[in-house]
Amino acid sequence: MDPALSKPVERTVRVGYPTTLAADLLDNFPSEVEIVPLSDGPGPQVDIEVWIPDPYPTRAMRTWPKLRGVRLVLSLMAGTEWIPGTVGPHVTICNARGAHNISTAEWTIGTILAMLKYFPFFLEMQREGLWKRRFEASARYAAITGDTSPLYPPVMLEELTGKRVVLIGYGSIGREIERMLEPFHVDLVRVARTARVGPEVHAVGDLDSLLPQAQVVILILPATAESHKLIGARQLALMPQGALLVNAARGPIVDTDALVDALNSGWIRAAVDVTDPEPLPEGHPLWSCPNLLITPHVGGSSPQFAPRALHIAADELRRYIAGEPLQNVVQAAI
């Protein structure tokens, strides 16, 4: 970490923020801060010490070339993949760990329930106005799960309660997902980069032995070289027929071609908030896959996101001004 960041600041700290955010969201920033609004269009060079980038990387990267003197970046997002390559190694970067916990965890639980309750199918039925299509749900259940035993009354939906859920990624969002799963009494298997105890967490290297028993697989791990295409054709084949893959993390963690093949074969189903490529182009095969729910990378979005993220940024600024250790450092300046 830059040694200068460990000393109390005895000057006004100029903090640049995107004009796409309402200025009143910064009302709780420390009094030692001078707020500098930044647009993403062309303009004169601006000297600031701390930069709060626009949440949309393309706009933020258009702003960066006119900035001078930046020593600290306070991202409003949990993911910061694009920032190190933009600002270089001599800038400290903090993320907004915790800002997305509730919204992303709720998206995860919501999409699991939507898929197990066949909401996409019943929405089709509603749009067609054909009540009798309700009986197709039983056939869909048999096709998805391979369970062709006679069932009466006909199966209209499935239950989450009691299912075996493999949660891959056990950071702050993963723990929030676990908290929200508690009322469903699932058999939860936690997976992270390394194994640990208290509670028991398996290593990613154990996936081959864990996936064959997984009825729901949740991805909520960061995009790194190690996680790139972590879920490919072999991993999808290890999952039991009818298993549900939920990707609330990053698109490249899943091999898209393998996912398309697995969905088209009827082997698994999936709910994804992220894709690779992203945005997903018109006409891409993933759009037309069966047993798939796609949302356009909105899992972390809610009216509470910006206030929550800026509250975290304000707390980091107070620490920075006081010369205290920053909490959410993802890159320490060299």
Strand (E) or helix (H) holding 188: strand 187-192
Residue 9 above 80 pLDDT? no
Residue 13's pLDDT is: 96
CA nearest neighbour of 21 among 77, 91, 67:
77
Q: What is the pLDDT of residues 283-329, one digit of tens each?
A: 999 999 999 999 999 999 999 999 999 999 999 999 999 999 999 99
pLDDT tens digit sequence for 179-207: 999 999 999 999 999 999 989 999 999 99
What is the average pLDDT score of the chain?
A: 94
H helix count then E strand count, the chain: 10, 15
Q: Which of 97, 202, 250, 308 is catalytic?
A: 250
Catalytic residue among 14, 193, 297, 319: 297
Token pair listed for 229: 């295409």
Question: 101-117+158-294 in CATH: which number?
Answer: 3.40.50.720
Residue boundaries of the structural domains of the chain: 3-99+303-331, 101-117+158-294
Whole-number Å distance between alpha carbons of 54 and 61:
9
Question: Could you tell me where the DSSP H helices lie in the chain?
Answer: 57-63, 83-87, 101-116, 119-128, 136-145, 172-181, 207-210, 233-238, 256-264, 305-322
pLDDT band (50, 70, 90) for residue 255:
very high
The answer to whether residue 297 is catalytic is yes
- pTM for this one? 0.90
pLDDT tens for each residue of 128-161: 999 999 999 999 999 999 999 988 888 889 999 9
Determine whether 100 is an active site residue.
no
Of the candidates 81, 278, 318, 319, the residue annotated as catalytic is 278
Is residue 278 part of the annotated active site? The answer reads yes
- CATH class as words, domain 3-99+303-331: alpha beta
Mean pLDDT to the nearest integer, 15-34:
94
